[in-house]
Amino acid sequence: MLAIINSCTVYGMFGHPIQVEVDVSNGLPNFDIVGLPDTSVKESKERVRTAIKNSGFKFPMSRITVNLAPADLKKEGPLFDLPIAVGILSATGQIPRQGKLRNTAIVGELSLDGKVRPVPGILAIADILSQTKGLDSFIVPEENACEAALIKGLAVYPVTRLKDLAAFLGGEEDLLPFAVDAEALLKEDHCEHLCDMAEVKGQQGVKRALEIAAAGGHNVLLVGSPGSGKTMLARRLPTILPSLTLEESLEITRIYSIAGLLSRDQSLITTRPFRAPHHSASAASLIGGGRIPHPGEISLACHGVLFLDEMLEYHKGILEALRQPLEDKLVTIARVEAAYSFPAKFQLVGALNPCPCGFFGDPVKECTCTPHQIQKYLGRISGPLLDRIDIRFDVPRVEYKELASEIRCETSAEIRQRVENARKIQGARLAGTGLTCNAHMERKQIQKYCQPSREAKQLLQEAFQRLNLSARSHDRILKVARTIADLDQSENIQLPHIAEAIQYRGSHLL
């Protein structure tokens, strides 16, 4: 007897419908899985066999052949356990072969006692199933139900045990479809646990630079001696970024779900991510990769911040690999069988010391490095990568009077309000272009929206010639100036806006 169960798997950022074809026929007892399964799929034979027995059903002593169609796509992961078990029960008549199975998709991992365990990538799977004709129901592990229900157009049924699912498909029990209000989840306040800019004493110049970076989505490089507060300031950048939209929140949640990093008690990520990989990270972990590619840190930081502390300690090849994602906001990983694309819409924040000992230019502590050591150290970051960083700022040493000051500092909420006002201006200006902030503008939008006044243009021309700027640097100065003008709620780019943007284009070292 033949049973066909609808299921799905994930390739890159997208789900791909799979049909699990189960044939039970006469012959010597055997259990084969075909259709390019990997080791984790092949091992499902023992999980399925034991789960069926321990759930009170009879495992057939027959020839069982399972085909995962289409057969030319590599299958991985334990998410086919549940559809294979249901297929065997259906093919042997222990549950109905028709009825609900015809328009229902099933995914889930089985434990040996018949419990259904959660699987990664449910959001991407639910998204593609909602667009598949003939499917209107989706059976998922109970712990994945909140995530699956974020996608409209499918009735999501959570199950905890194989026998409960069999009773539902046989009409013996009813399961209620699970529903969740994504808009309500997004509106909840999730910022109580976050740090705050008010905790940072002094450093008003750096706070201003970070406010501009947040308002326009610009990349930042902080240069300063140890203990000056670079890391502390960088960790507070997400607290002044605009609140996530539902579309952004769903995209972040999808990435974390595919990577298997979505918390069990969190169905929707509602705060902007902050990723800070160690400098020993490999290229595959930072950019993404693997035999079947998975998202790297630059994708996990999507719509948030990727912080590279001690930036010059990273391998130079890894830093250079950031150049293309910084420009395209997308990373494509090619394999023999396919190319996988992952979003890389992150803000880069780098922090580095001015020299190996860390105290070059420090007014208090003397540097012990030779000029050659300093030159070699700073040479680890290339000109093309520096060109893609809009704001570079020297972080000064904090004075004691600033640490002891009782003067109230601005909170993250107060700064975020100005940032959101600037983003609203940019959103209205860039409506219909698919862009969301000034940092993402291309040459066409720069020419249209970043025309400085005559005095400002004259200053920019003089800076271009004196500083030997590249065409990319010229455009990035205009984009930063456009952001500064938006914060000032100025329709045109004036002389002070260009002057401030030029100041952020380089430190005394870079």
CATH of the domain at 379: 3.40.50.300
Q: Each residue of 481-491: b (16+ CB within 10 Å) or e?
A: bbbbbbbeeee
264 and 294 assigned to the same domain: yes
* pLDDT at residue 334, as a whole number: 87
Position 185 scores a pLDDT of 82
pLDDT of residue 170: 87
DSSP code of residue 120: S
pLDDT at 507: 58
**485 within domain boundaries:** no
328, exposed or middle or buried, with CB in 10 Å at 0-12, 13-18, 19+?
Answer: exposed
Q: Which of these three, 180, 208, 225, is where a domain ends?
A: 180
Has residue 455 been placed in a domain? no
Confidence at residue 264, expressed as pLDDT on a 0 to 100 scale: 77
Tell whether 277 and 387 lie within a shared domain: yes
- The yes-or-no verdict on residue 397 having pLDDT over 80 is yes
323: its two tokens:
């150049």
Instruction: Map tokens 């401030």 to a residue.
Output: 500
Q: What is the CA radius of gyration of the chain?
A: 28
Longest CA–CA separation in the chain, Å: 89
Q: 332: how many CB neighbours lie within 10 A of its CB?
A: 15
To 5 degrees, how large is the angle CA 449–CA 450–CA 453? 120
Q: Are residues 174 and 202 located together in one domain of the fold?
A: no
| pLDDT confidence tier of residue 510, bands split at 50, 70 and 90 | low
Write down the pTM of the prediction: 0.91
Instruction: Please tell me which residue, 82 or 337, carries the higher pLDDT value.
Output: 82
DSSP state of 324: H
Domain hosting 330: range is 197-432
Is the distance from CB of 85 to CB of 48 less than 8 angstroms?
A: yes
3-state SS, one letter per residue, for 417-456: HHHHHHHHHHHHHCCCCCCCCHHHCCHHHHHHHCCECHHH
Q: How far apart are CA 352 and CA 395, in angstroms?
A: 10
Confidence bin at 211 (pLDDT 50/70/90) = very high
Q: Has residue 146 been placed in a domain?
A: yes
Long-range contacts of 45-50 (CB under 8 A, 24+ apart): 47/78, 47/81, 47/109, 47/110, 47/111, 47/112, 48/81, 48/84, 48/85, 48/88, 48/110, 50/112
What is the residue-averaged pLDDT of the chain? Answer: 92
pLDDT at 280: 93
Least confidently predicted of 82-86, 191-195, 225-229:
191-195
Answer yes or no: is 256 within a domain: yes
* Boundary (domain end) residue, out of 432, 455, 484: 432
Q: Is the pLDDT of residue 192 over 90?
A: no
pLDDT band at 173 (very low <50, low <70, confident <90, very high): confident
pLDDT in tens, 461-487: 999 999 888 899 999 999 999 999 999
Stretch 473-502: mean pLDDT: 95
Number of domains composing the chain: 2
pLDDT of residue 193: 53
Q: CA dist 38 to 30, 75, 246, 340, Å?
A: 19, 6, 35, 19
367 with 272, same domain: the answer is yes
Residues 30 and 115 in one domain: yes
Picking from 505, 466, 301, the residue whose alpha carbon sits closest to that of residue 387 is: 505
- Checking if the pLDDT of 60 tops 60, the result is yes
Among 129, 128, 111, 108, smallest CA distance to 119 is for 108
Nearest Cα to 497, choosing from 462, 464, 451?
451
**Based on the number of CB atoms within 10 Å of its own CB, is 336 exposed (0-12), middle (13-18) or buried (19 or more)?**
exposed
Q: Is residue 153 part of a domain?
A: yes
Whether pLDDT at 61 is above 80: yes
pLDDT of residue 508: 55
Residues 124 and 209 in one domain: no
Average pLDDT estimate for 48-77: 94
